[in-house]
Amino acid sequence: MELRSLTVDGFVAAVASGDPTPGGGSVGALCGALGAALTRMVCGLTLEREKFRDSWTELEPVARESSQLRQRFLDLVQDDTDAYQTVLTAFALPQGTSEQQEQRRQAVEQAMQGAASVPLATLGAAAKLIGFCETAIRRGNPNTLTDAGVAAQMALAAGRAAAYNVRINLTLIRDEAFTAAARAETARLLAAVEETAERCDRLVMDRL
């Protein structure tokens, strides 16, 4: 299923269906895309106003990077669903002989590592986005303060959703070195996302 081509209603219906995909990983990545889109909107509504010229130097790169992140998150929406399908294919391989069992084991391991890598990439993108959200909150058009705040909440949702999915996938991976590295990176990135999100929330609430 090509998720990017779906309408909003179509995507929500696909999530609500009995099919396991698109699931939480894709939904989390979509939160990231929405957060990036809101960040870009805040930048646009600031960069087009002469009275906010003092913020332009800081927000021009944020506008550019948030546009790129929006596309990255949309790719990850699809990648997460595709990775899950690869896992299902691996588990469905025959295991009637010892050779088939070994081939299946290797295929499952490879598929699970791929399935963990996608949300880890989503988490990394969320960590980048949340920093741009903070800049948008601090330097953006004051009339878009809450839009920037919502963008930060979307980045947080994307990051937490991704962390959930990395960790659940790691439980089925045998490669201890891969698991340890992914778990450590997940913890590092999630801590950064949550710390920045808390700061963003305070910045917004203090001005309301």
Q: Give the residue ranges of the chain where pLDDT is below 70.
A: none
Q: Count of CB atoms within 10 A of residue 183's CB?
A: 14
Question: What is the domain count for the chain?
Answer: 1
- Tokens standing for 140? 């953006």
Q: What is the model's pLDDT at position 33?
A: 99
CB neighbours of 188 closer than 8 A, spacing ≥ 6? none
Where is 89: in which H helix or E strand? helix 56-91
What is d(CA 206, CA 208) in angstroms, rounded to the nearest whole number? 6
Q: Which residue's entry shows tokens 């939480």?
A: 24
Q: What is the model's pLDDT at position 18?
A: 87
| Single pTM value for the model | 0.95
Domain CATH code at residue 57: 1.20.120.680
Domain containing residue 33? 3-205
41-60: buried (b, 16+ CB within 10 Å) or exposed (e) per residue? bbbbebbeeeebeebeeebe
Where is 194: in which H helix or E strand? helix 176-205
Counting Cα atoms < 13 Å in the Cβ hemisphere of 118 gives 29
Q: What is the model's pLDDT at position 1?
A: 77
